[in-house]
Amino acid sequence: MTTVQVPGSKSVTARALFLAAAADGTSRLRAALDSDDTQAFRDGLRTLGYQVTEAGDDWLVDGRPAGPPAPDADVYCRDAGTAARFLPALAAVGHGHYRFDASAQMRRRPVGPLATALRDLGAALSFADAEGHLPIGIAANGLRGGRLRLDASVSSQFLTALLMAAPLMTDGLTIEVTDLVSRPYVEMTVTMMGDFGVSVQTVGNTFTVAPQRYVARVYDVEPDASTASYFFAAAALTGRTVTVPGLGKNAMQGDVRFVEALRAMGAEVVVEENRTTVTGTGRLSGLTVNMRDISDTMPTLAAIAPYADGPVRIEDVANTRVKECDRLEACATNLRAMGIEVATGADWIEIRPGTPRPALIDCHADHRIAMAFSVAGLRADGLVLDDPDCVRKTFPGFHRVFGDLRREWDLTGQHG
């Protein structure tokens, strides 16, 4: 059995940073993820005037309930969807002039519904370049709040941003959501707002937040469930056993449910109080699975799919086309380069069984493509990543940890 210590959750870290920044007092975040995305978030807060300091492995955040201390700031969000969607909402409840920009990759990704909502709530928001995309400017003068309708079918991050800012709005906020992807991330948001002392009333798809104050606290960040998917998949693919401590029955992240797909394919899965164990059984069966709630793990499943004994069809994942890259096309083209038969539609991908041949994997600067195809490389010789470093977005140490696993399991081949 191999125990893998997975670093902290990117999503939990980003929320904890936001909530701590908005709270009364100083919070201590323990086991926060230190990666490109969370550094972008932390540095974004610093640029907005918040004090975020490091104490050993902990991050200390001085909360400012009135909004960003800096009256004027240029925030660079790098590749991070969390920073690009959450920080403008935090800035909008304050008073000052703020500009948000990001990498070319993040500029391509949508922020339109969030921007429209912030305008409806009273923010003076302008697009510097393309409508619905970063860069944006906000002349902030507090938000009055009220009631709005929101389409979160492209990203749940729009809803999370508005919910987390809602208790800081003069009248609070009621959001009626017309459509929603990635629902477990919103449940995580509501749970974490509660952890920092703020309650959200949820009735069906309507969320109501009264004006309230966040309370500073010590907060333990749970390990990243999307990152864990690569190690669980590695076990399922190679017939080994992997245990990830810290992700058990009460884990907040929806992506822990990736192991259910592995179980449906034939792996043994044991979910205990505070850890999850996957054991490969030497065979993988095909399946049809809806991954709308856990679509960050779609590439993980797609990359091991050729080794199943029947077709693997992944459905309801249209929004994976507006992630770091178009992930449906990226998975399909890389699998085809490996000689695998693949079909895609607007929101699905179907992969046929096959024997992968050596190929250069085009990562599209997407950490999930790099990590998912590294898993496939445990059984296919000659899979080479064109951009192994892109894993820094969420797991800078991935290749080291994966290399250790490869040596421990005595597997040859190349993956980065």
Ligand X SMILES: C=C(OP(=O)(O)O)C(=O)O
Annotated binding residues for phosphoenolpyruvate, written as ranges, equal 10, 81, 109, 157, 327, 368, 393
Which of 59, 98, 185, 214 is close enough to bind ligand S3P by CB under 6 A?
185
- The pairing of beta strand 268-271 with beta strand 359-361: unpaired
Which of 267, 394, 398, 405 is close enough to bind ligand X by CB under 6 A?
394
Query: What does the alpha-carbon distance between residue 324 and residue 109 come to, in Å, rounded to a whole number?
Result: 8
Which of 13, 35, 105, 155 is close enough to bind ligand S3P by CB under 6 A?
155
Which of 62, 79, 101, 296 is close enough to bind ligand S3P by CB under 6 A?
296
- Residue range at the interface with ligand S3P (CB under 6 A); choices 110-118, 154-162, 233-241, 332-340: 154-162
Nearer to ligand X, 81 or 94 (CB): 81
Please tell me the number of Cα atoms within 13 Å of 260 on its side-chain side. Answer: 11
Q: Could you give the angle at the alpha carbon of 98 between the alpha carbons of 94 and 100, nearest 5°? A: 125
DSSP classification of residue 6: P
Options 79, 224, 296, 366, the catalytic residue: 296
Distances 48 to 81, 83, 127, 166, 172 between C-alpha atoms, Å:
18, 12, 19, 19, 23
Beta-bridge partners for 209: 173
Nearer to ligand S3P, 170 or 205 (CB): 205
Which of 118, 150, 175, 181 is close enough to bind ligand S3P by CB under 6 A?
181
CB of 158 to ligand S3P, least distance (A): 8
Query: What does the alpha-carbon distance between residue 86 and residue 347 come to, in Å, rounded to a whole number?
Result: 26
296 contributes a contact to ligand X by CB under 6 A = yes
DSSP classification of residue 8: B
Nearer to ligand S3P, 231 or 307 (CB): 231
Q: What phi and psi, each to the nearest 5 degrees, are found at residue 357?
A: -110, 160
CB of 28 to ligand S3P, least distance (A): 21
Q: Which residues are annotated as a binding site?
A: 10-11, 15, 81, 109, 155-157, 296, 319, 323, 327, 368, 393
Residue-level length of the chain: 416
Secondary structure of 169-230 as H, E, C letters:
CCCCEEEEEEEECCHHHHHHHHHHHHHCCCCCEEECCEEEECCCCEECCEEECCECHHHHHH
Longest alpha-carbon distance in the chain:
61
Nearer to ligand S3P, 17 or 405 (CB): 17
User: Which secondary structure element, helix H or strand E, spans residue 268, and what is its range?
Assistant: strand 268-271
Query: What does the alpha-carbon distance between residue 325 and residue 314 come to, in Å, rounded to a whole number?
Result: 18
Which of 38, 319, 334, 374 is close enough to bind ligand S3P by CB under 6 A?
319
- 8 Å CB contact between 265 and 235: no
Nearer to ligand X, 207 or 395 (CB): 395
Active-site residue 296, yes or no?
yes
Which of 323, 364, 399, 415 is close enough to bind ligand X by CB under 6 A?
323
Sole residue written with tokens 């091991």? 304
Nearer to ligand S3P, 155 or 277 (CB): 155
369 contributes a contact to ligand S3P by CB under 6 A = no
Query: What does the alpha-carbon distance between residue 184 and residue 15 come to, in Å, rounded to a whole number?
Result: 14
238 contributes a contact to ligand S3P by CB under 6 A = no
CB of 244 to ligand S3P, least distance (A): 18
196: amino acid identity, one letter: F
Q: Which does 243 bind (CB under 5 to 8 A by kind): ligand X, ligand S3P, none?
A: none
- Residue range at the interface with ligand X (CB under 6 A); choices 44-52, 57-65, 74-82, 399-407: 74-82
Catalytic residues: 296
Binding residues for ligand S3P (CB under 6 A): 11, 14, 81-82, 155-157, 160, 181-182, 185, 296, 319
Q: Which residues in this chain contact ligand X in the complex, by CB under 6 A? A: 80-82, 296, 323, 368, 394
